[in-house]
Amino acid sequence: MRTLARDLFQKCRDYRDSADAKAQGFYPYFRQIDETHGNYVMCDGERKIMIGSNNYLGLAQDERVIEAACEATRAYGAGCTGSRLLNGTIRLHSQLEEALADFLQREAVLLFSTGFFANQGALASLTEDGDVILCDRENHASIIDGCQFAPAKLVPYRHNSASSLGNRLKRQAPEAGKLVVMDGVFSMSGDIADLPPQLEVAKSYGARVYVDEAHSLGVLGPKGRGVVHHFGLNDDVDIVMGTFSKSLGSMGGFIAGDRQMIEFLKHRARCLIFTASLAPAVAGGVLKALEIMQQEPERMEQLWRNTHKMHEGFKRIGFKIGTTQTPIVPILIGSEAKAFMFTQRLFEEGVFATPAIYPAVRYGEAIVRTSYMATHTDDDLDHVLEIFEKLARELGTFDDPAYVEPGRRRNVFDFRLDASENGSEGAAEGQNGYHQATK
């Protein structure tokens, strides 16, 4: 008698989380935006102050950037209809790569269609069997997924901990190739990578160092060059990754490094070879945004004034904002249901924010993730703080759950790290068994 195959779609029929949230009236995702004006958006005819965007410098709606994107579209069309390797390289791509290499003071740069692809393509291509990737446990999902695609062994270490990194490194085979990967700014907590001590530890074991500058480009460092330049370590960090979907107001990503490494990726990174290249509008718009970012340092200065105002304002009200050091300000709420409810009430009061729940954050530590732009006005920010203070009185601030629901880890890395510190090397390092992204 033939055994019936399990229906792959049964999990889809069993999935109820979104339906339950919708039924209770506080489903917070896939909200439709009808118009975008940078610091505010229009939804169903209502104005909402946008504090859920990564448009840090407000360049996504800059008329000069929009016009440059339009000019590129008129010159090259709506798309390139091919990969970079074949028919999909236009002059704007080469110009943008050269401009970025000059800006970041690197030998060469390679563009990818998304930041996710940049991480996935580089991590999977640069490592091989027998190598080890050391990964901060709060790294972005694109890094985690890139590590899953890589043939190397994946070893997590405690967030921002040079001592934990050293403990992991000393347990690896001396002859193994080693790559240490970290975010420059962590997208949920908003804290900055403690790069100097981690770099020192990594180099003492002969490891290469890879920094994802997605949320630090345009935010930190001279002229917005990122966290590597912020610490003055450009000559010591081997690989820099970045995106265009934050400060540069568009989409896409890149890898920057030495010329030989970039030449290798051009011919080995499957995420580059087997997908269409950046649309002309993106390349043209990003080129202009990069130019404006360098010519108008007052944007970054205003961004930091706004950031300090919000840090101080939330603390005054009594919210917990964790260890953030940047325009990413997580408001610690606690339970997932309350985070959804808080987000819905913000929306009703004219503030567009987004919740983050497990596994993006630890279970029981749900947040309302807020982030700020150079183009937010004092009136915008005062109104946001006023609404948060009103809702703090209405709903309370942080609920600290007394327990973790059985079967749900605080964080998908925790069991590996705890096991490692108890002496179980295999559990800590395992195979690439990451069934969830952490961010």
Which amino acids are annotated catalytic? 187, 215, 246
Distance CA 161, CA 138 (A): 11
Backbone torsion region of residue 19, taken as left when φ is above 0, otherwise alpha when ψ lies between -120 and 50, otherwise beta: alpha
Tell me if 27 sits within 8 A of 36, measured CB to CB.
no
- CA-based torsion, 8, 14, 15, 18: positive or negative: positive
Provide the greatest CA pair distance for the chain. 74
Q: Which residues pair with 241 in a beta bridge?
A: 212, 255
> Does a cis peptide bond (omega within 30 degrees of 0) precede residue 401?
no
* Cα 128 to chain centroid, rounded: 25
Distance CA 255, CA 241 (A): 5
Distance CA 191, CA 325 (A): 5
Q: What angle do CA 384, 386, 389 make, to 5 degrees?
A: 110
**Residue 58, token pair as written in the block:** 């407000």
For residue 105, what are the CA distances in angstroms to 225, 234, 325? 9, 8, 25
